[in-house]
Amino acid sequence: MKPWLVLVCLLTPVCAHAQPWPAWNRLLQALAAQHLEISGADPRRARIETIGKALIARQNPRPPWDFVVVASPKIDAGCCGEGAVYVTSGLLDLHLDDDELAGILGHEVAHGIMRHVETNQQPQMLMEQARKDQQTALEQVDQLERERERLASEEFQRRQQELAKQALELKERIAIIQASARKVELNLRAQEADADSVGLQLARLAGYREEGLLTALAKIQEAGGSSPNLAGYRHPPIAYRLGRLRQLLQILHKLSPPDLPARP
Ligand SMILES: [Zn+2]
**Structure confidence by residue, pLDDT tens digits, 124-160:** 888 888 888 888 888 888 898 898 888 888 988 999 8
Q: What is the pLDDT of residue 226?
A: 62
Give the integer Cα–Cα distance in Å for 62 and 52: 13
Q: Give the phi and the psi of residue 64 in degrees, each rounded to 5.
A: -65, 140
Question: How far apart are the CA of 6 and the centre of ligand 1, in A?
Answer: 28
On the 0-12 / 13-18 / 19+ scale of CB atoms within 10 A, 230 is buried
- pLDDT of amino acid 37: 92
**Residue range 191-200: average pLDDT?**
92
214 C-alpha to center of ligand 1: Å? Answer: 14
- pLDDT attached to residue 232: 62
C-alpha 192 to ligand 1 mean position (Å): 5
C-alpha of residue 183 to centroid of ligand 1, in Å: 17
Q: Which amino acid is at 52?
A: G
Residue extents of the structural domains in the chain: 117-188
Q: What is the CA radius of gyration of the chain?
A: 24
User: How far apart are the CA of 75 and the centre of ligand 1, in A?
Assistant: 14
Half-sphere exposure of 180 (CA within 13 A, CB side): 14
Measured in Å, residue 229 CA sits from the centre of ligand 1 at: 9
The sign of the dihedral angle between the CA atoms of 150, 155, 157, 160 is negative
Find the 186 Cα to ligand 1 centroid distance in Å. Answer: 14
Confidence bin at 186 (pLDDT 50/70/90): confident
Q: Would you say 210 and 201 are in contact if contact means Cβ atoms under 8 Å apart?
A: yes
CA of 67 to the centre of ligand 1 (A): 16
Whether pLDDT at 231 is above 80: no
Provide mean pLDDT across the span 230-254.
80
State which residues have CB under 5 angstroms from ligand 1, the bound ion: 192, 195
Question: What distance in Å separates the CA atoms of residue 247 and residue 6, rounded to the nearest whole number?
Answer: 46
Q: Is the pLDDT of residue 38 over 70?
A: yes
Query: What number is the average pLDDT over the span 14-28?
Result: 69
Q: How does DSSP assign 84-127, residue by residue? A: EEEEEHHHHTT---HHHHHHHHHHHHHHHHTTHHHHHHHHHHHH
Percent above pLDDT 70 for the chain: 86
Average pLDDT for residues 33-49, to the nearest whole number? 92
Residue of 237 and 2 predicted with greater confidence: 237
Q: What is the pLDDT of residue 16?
A: 36
pLDDT tops 90 at residue 208: yes
> Would you call 66 helix, strand, or coil by DSSP?
strand
Contact 83, 24 (CB under 8 A): yes
Closest residue by Cα to residue 261 from 196, 205, 182, 221:
205
Mean pLDDT on 171-191: 85
Mean pLDDT value across the chain? 84
Using a pLDDT cut of 90, give the percent of the chain over it: 41
Question: To 5 degrees, how large is the angle CA 246–CA 247–CA 253?
Answer: 85
